[in-house]
Amino acid sequence: MKITIFNNSGLETGRYLKVNNFFLKKENNNILFLDIKRYLSDQRQGTNKSKERSEITGSTKKIQRQKGSGNARKGDIKNPIFRSGGRIFGPKPRNFNLKINNKSKFLAKKTILNFKLRTNKIKVIEDFKINIIKTKLVFKIFNRLNLNFKKSLIIYNKRNDIFFFSSRNLKFTNILSINELNSYELANSDYLVFFESAIKKILKL
C-alpha cells in the first residue's frame, strides 16, 4: 500500500510512501480499549473529598435524651441526618491511574494506525517552515486536502513554534509531537495529518 505525499500547498508531489511492512496480521481492539481507558483514567484528579461525621466541627452533646421523648433517637448535631452533618460514605482522595506495559501501549497505537491506513484517513505532507504566524496559511493547506471541517490531528517530528501557533486556532484541529502520541487522540480524530519526517520515524519502529 502507498500513501501520497502532499506539499505545503496541499498539492500532490508525485512521491509515495510504502507502508506494507507496517500492517498487523490482526488488530488488537481489546488492547486499544485498555490503553484508551488508561489514558482517560490518568486525566482524573481524584482530589474530591467530603467530611465524615468524625471530621465535622461541633458539639458531641446529645440533642435530646435517648428515651422518653417519643421521638427517634438523634445523637449529636454532627449526625448525617441533619443539615451540615457529616457525609456517609462520601468521596475520598484516590488515585485513578492504571498501568499498562509499554509493549501493549505500542500495540494499541499500531492497531489504530492500521485502521486509519486501511480506511485512507492518513495524509502526509512534506516538512516545511512558515516564517510568519498566520492561521490562513494552514487553513489553505487543509482546504486543499478537504479537511477544513473534519476533526484532524497534526503530528510533527520536531516542534516548529510558528506552525504550532498558526494551526492552534483552527477549530477542528489538534497538534501533537510524535513523542506525545497516545491511542485516545489517534482514535478521537477523523483524519491524521503527518509531516513526512514524523511518519517515517513511526514506520521505522
Q: Where are the domains of the chain?
A: 2-44+97-204, 46-95
pLDDT reading at 205 higher than 70: no
Extract long-range pairs of 166-170: CB within 8 Å, 24+ residues apart. 166/130, 166/133, 166/134, 166/135, 166/137, 166/138, 167/135, 167/138, 169/135, 170/135, 170/138, 170/139, 170/142
Lowest mean pLDDT among 8-12, 181-185, 198-202: 8-12
Quick one: pLDDT at residue 23? 72
Quick one: pLDDT at residue 67? 93
Quick one: pLDDT at residue 98? 93
Rounded (10°) angle between helices 102-118 and 29-42: 110
Grouping H, G, I as helix, E, B as strand and the rest as coil, residue 165 is helix
| Number of neighbours of residue 191 by Cβ within 10 angstroms | 21
Query: What value does the mean pLDDT take over residues 180-190?
Result: 93
Distance of alpha carbon 70 from alpha carbon 62, whole angstroms: 15
The band of 153, judged by pLDDT with boundaries at 50, 70 and 90, is very high
Quick one: pLDDT at residue 118? 87
Report the CATH architecture of 2-44+97-204. Answer: 3-Layer(aba) Sandwich (3.40)
The band of 87, judged by pLDDT with boundaries at 50, 70 and 90, is very high
Distance of alpha carbon 108 from alpha carbon 154, whole angstroms: 19
